């Protein structure tokens, strides 16, 4: 019985000691996603003809105005909506950044309008159901 208590105590101490490392690892991973999305938006704006510095400034301002949950919401959209690709979403976000428009990936109406604008056609019932689920999941994040 003493060995079980010792083992439990050892595991507890190890878990507590490693918690900051795990949290830091998750933080680094999240920061990498932020930087990748930031770079992707800036690159799209630069390809559209903006100077590199201006593209970086616009992308940075857009990302700073949005909360960090934006990246999790983008991921939900990519995984949950079968008809849009990551590139299409990033292209839409870069246009929104250029126009200094806010995005509301936790709002069903916004998602429907965004996907409609991306695809330029009426959305099928299945897609609308996917967007409703994504909006619900994203609303939980925000």
The pLDDT score that the predictor gives to residue 80 is 93
The pLDDT score that the predictor gives to residue 64 is 66
Tell me what the pLDDT averaged over the chain comes to. 77
pLDDT at residue 12 tops 80: no
pLDDT at residue 28 tops 50: no
CB atoms within 10 A of CB 82: 9
pTM for the model: 0.65
User: Are 91 and 127 in contact, with CB atoms under 8 Å apart?
Assistant: no
The count of C-alpha atoms lying within 13 angstroms of the C-alpha of 50, restricted to the half-sphere facing its C-beta, is 18
The pLDDT score that the predictor gives to residue 33 is 55
Distance CA 108, CA 123 (A): 13
Taking CA atoms, 124 is separated from 31, 34, 90, in Å, by 35, 32, 22
The pLDDT score that the predictor gives to residue 89 is 92
The pLDDT score that the predictor gives to residue 44 is 86
User: Are 86 and 118 in contact, with CB atoms under 8 Å apart?
Assistant: no
pLDDT at residue 56 tops 50: yes
The count of C-alpha atoms lying within 13 angstroms of the C-alpha of 41, restricted to the half-sphere facing its C-beta, is 28
Instruction: List, for residues 29-45, the tens digit of each pLDDT value.
Output: 545 555 677 778 888 88
pLDDT at residue 65 tops 50: yes
Instruction: List, for residues 106-117, the tens digit of each pLDDT value.
Output: 999 999 999 999
């Amino acid at each position: 019985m003493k060995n079980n208590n010792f083992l439990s105590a050892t595991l507890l101490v190890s878990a507590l000691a490693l918690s900051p490392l795990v949290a830091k690892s998750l933080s680094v991973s999240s920061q990498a996603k932020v930087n990748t999305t930031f770079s992707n938006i800036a690159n799209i704006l630069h390809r559209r003809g903006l100077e590199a510095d201006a593209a970086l400034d616009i992308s940075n301002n857009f990302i700073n105005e949005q909360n960090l949950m934006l990246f999790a919401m983008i991921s939900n959209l990519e995984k949950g909506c079968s008809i849009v690709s990551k590139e299409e979403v990033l292209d839409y976000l870069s246009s929104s950044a250029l126009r200094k428009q806010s995005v509301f990936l936790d709002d069903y109406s916004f998602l429907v309008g965004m996907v409609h604008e991306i695809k330029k056609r009426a959305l099928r019932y299945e897609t609308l159901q996917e967007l409703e689920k994504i909006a619900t999941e994203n609303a939980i994040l925000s």
